[in-house]
Amino acid sequence: MKRSFFTTIKVLTAAFIFLGWNSLTLAQYKIMPLGDSITRGMGGDEPYTGYRDDLDNLLSNEGVNFDFVGSQTDGDPGVFDVDHEGHGGWRADQILDSLDSWLDTYNPQFVLLHIGTNDISDDQSNESTINEIESIVDKIYNKNNDNKILLCSLIPRKDSKDGITTELNELIKDLYYQKRDLGYKIYYVGQNEVFKANDNWATDYMIDDVHPNDTGYNVMAQVYFDVLMSAINESGQVVSDNFNRSQLGITWAADPEYQIVANELSNTSTTSSWEFLATYIAQTNPNEVTIRWSTNADTTGINEGGIALMLDAPSADASGYLIFKTLDGKEGLWRIVNGEPAGEITDEDGLLPFPSPGDVYKVVLSTDADGHHFDCYINGEFDARLTDPDKEQGNGPRLYAGIMLKGGLNNNVDYFDVRSDGDATPPDKVVDLSVEAVTASSVTLGWTAPGDDGSTGRASSYDIRYSTSPITEANFTDATEAIGEPFPSAPGTLESFVVTGLEASTTYYFALKTADEVPNWSELSNVPQATTIAATEITDDFNRPGPELGPDWVADPEYQIVSNELANTSTVEDWDFLAVYKVRKNPSEVSFRWGNEANEDGIEQGGLALMLDDTSTTANGYLVWMRPKVNRISLFTIINGEAEQGELLDYLEYTLSDPVAGDTFKVVLSSDATGHHFDCYVNDQFYGRVSDPDKLQGNAEALYAGVMLHGNRA
């Protein structure tokens, strides 16, 4: 449905004079609200209006000539433009299937896309959902490269799947930056961020688990409006906010002195004071913040204005950092406390001249063990790095950026832009790392899983290290990395992991860090210590006459001692031969040394029998054996004493040298929630790990080890 706003045309005898013409009415903009029941407006009384009636009102009051388009109609057409493309219960793939037809029929110039809620409700993986959302974005772009796409973060949910929503929103934000960098006219709409800027969003904005109430829909409309006005009035560059509208709006939490004047952000106060903060709340955890000074600003004003970073709240009273360039050529780093500057932390001489009106000023943030770092750029050229080694501010899970301008000066800002590629929030520090069990060669650790962003979302990896001396941030990477760290579980889950390959009677220190997908690394965990128990090593060197193995072994008769070595004397080419060492129960480490006459064919066809459930030649368990001809170590099950009745469970391809006669093959055994694990070594050099995640064998109270050699081999 078309909405038009007419202006006065006064006709004189010889010329046309256009009076009071608003540039926004020169063209009519086709806008397609696209999505699911949230776009339709479900959750309230029928007829459904959702955010659409409020957005219609905002655009109309701004003088925008627009037409909402789509095949669906909900609402009173006498009150607002009711056309839309919101389909209750639809997932992203269903939107994708019908999108070509809608684009051909309605030819929208602006698409407001909020999709993915039902995908989460239907337990579809976020990876599949984001791929479908990307296909939607690509179709809109490929239909017309000038189409402007307003891509929303999903509003939060009140049920247990809000964490999954948070994870999908990170992927949506990553997709936005990816497409923006490729030249798409795409805009990020921080619906989730603005909702969660209100601690009481669940009661104030929601009518059920997934749908907003009238207040929530009004918030959505205001967020859409602020971004849509930037898109309608873009001047060749996609930025977070170009201030091309009449009101600052809901995407900012600012002191009232901040107003939009002539499409620029202005501190309209006549008081010569720094006590004015404007915080952008529609995007969290930015790691790059950019402003462009007005072409009408002056040197005095630019000297008294800067970027506010790592703000701890979506508020004009937030605490964080202020960075600005001064006339003496220095970049200054100040702390902000409760919305006001509270003392300088440091300054550095810049490499570049003082910025001029119209120049672009950018700060890129990073954090590591040495502090919070701020790299300052003017018109894309590096100027200086500022560092707060004490990390006084900016340590919360949700941080914001904004602008701080001193009052009473000519220091307007033409545009503001933020980036948060991947994200800048690390997982929480693990504080409860503990030792749960100790053997002669292993230590079992336990801890509570942190999140991806602080305590929210699922992290991507652990780095677990151990050392015989205390571990600190400074020497963490010098410590030995454990083998086979588990993939992080959902936040709050109790984790368990066995560190293997340790020496007996030795004190070890343990620590871990957690990474997200960027990766942002957490701070170092607490550092527990443990002393491995004394080893009770039992060795059989076969240095006896034979041919019988003796009372310590239960073996098929083909196993004999030949020239002080264990040999399978069978001429039958078969795996149906097992020798079980019954003296030691539940070994944690088992090894053998290939004989002096062993050749490649023989090494290829012999291995260790592990986690055997009986001291008989028909025991069940696992076979771990090396295959130098194909550079593999394989894990098989042994069933009734035969590997041929079992199955291949796992294998690894090694790149180290093949074993030869006289080399020692060792396997260190461990078990945790993720399976039975077998760490393989040749001459104490680690070759890799094979695992049985299903724990098909090795679950008896008493377990044994032995040897399985193929017949008719040397």
pLDDT at position 617, please? 95
The tens digit of pLDDT for each residue in 611-653 reads 999 999 999 999 999 999 999 999 999 999 998 888 899 999 9
CA separation for the pair 276, 341 (Å, rounded): 9
Same domain, 448 and 524: yes
389 belongs to a structural domain? yes
Question: Do 220 and 296 share a domain, yes or no?
Answer: no
CA–CA gap between residue 647 and residue 696 (Å, rounded):
11
The amino acid that residue 593 corresponds to is R
What the block records as the tokens of 304 is 């008294």
Q: pLDDT digit string (tens) for 256-294?
A: 999 999 999 999 999 999 999 999 999 998 999 999 999
* Phi-psi sector, 296: left (phi>0), alpha (psi -120 to 50), beta: alpha
What distance in Å separates the CA atoms of residue 225 and residue 228, rounded to the nearest whole number? 5
Model pLDDT for residues 362-398, shown as the tens digit of each residue:
999 988 778 899 999 999 999 999 999 999 999 888 8
Task: Give the mean model confidence (pLDDT) for residues 25-46.
Answer: 88
Higher model confidence: residue 691 or residue 521?
A: 691
pLDDT value for 714: 60
In this prediction, residues 33-41 reach a mean pLDDT of 98
User: Alpha-carbon distance 203 to 711, whole Å?
Assistant: 73
Please report the pLDDT score of residue 238 as a whole number.
83
Confidence of residue 457 (pLDDT cuts 50, 70, 90): confident
- Number of helices (H), then strands (E), belonging to the chain: the values are 11, 45
Choose one of 234, 262, 282: the last residue of a domain.
Answer: 234
- Which position has the token pair 């929503």? 165
Q: How many CA atoms lie within 13 A of 101 on its CB side?
A: 7
User: Domain check: are 593 and 481 in the same one?
Assistant: no
| pLDDT score, position 578 | 95
The per-residue pLDDT for 45 is 74
Whether the pLDDT of residue 522 is over 60: the answer is yes
Q: Are 174 and 79 members of one domain?
A: yes
pLDDT at 7 over 70: no
Q: Which of 123-132, 367-376, 489-498 shows the lowest per-residue confidence on average (mean pLDDT)?
A: 367-376
Mean of all residue pLDDT scores within the chain: 91
Higher pLDDT, 454 or 417: 417
Residues 524 and 491 in one domain: yes
CATH number at residue 282: 2.60.120.200
Q: Is 163 in contact with 119 (CB distance < 8 Å)?
A: no
Q: 337 pLDDT band (50/70/90 cuts)?
A: very high
Mean pLDDT of 124-146: 96
Q: Are 230 and 242 in contact (CB under 8 A)?
A: yes
Please tell me the least confidently modeled range out of 54-63, 220-229, 237-246, 523-532.
237-246
pTM above 0.75, yes or no: no
Is residue 545 situated within a structural domain? no
Q: How sure is the predictor about 235, in pLDDT bands with cuts at 50, 70 and 90?
A: low
Position 645 scores a pLDDT of 83
Range of the domain at 474: 434-532
Residue 427 lies in a domain: no
Answer whether residue 520 is part of any domain.
yes
Mean pLDDT of 69-97: 97
H or E segment to which residue 59 belongs: helix 52-62
3-state secondary structure of 578: coil
The answer on 324 and 265 residing in a single domain is: yes
Does 92 reside within a domain?
A: yes
**pLDDT for 713:** 66
Is 514 among the domain residues? yes
Q: How far is CA 234 from CA 22, 30, 146, 227, 614, in A?
A: 16, 16, 12, 10, 76
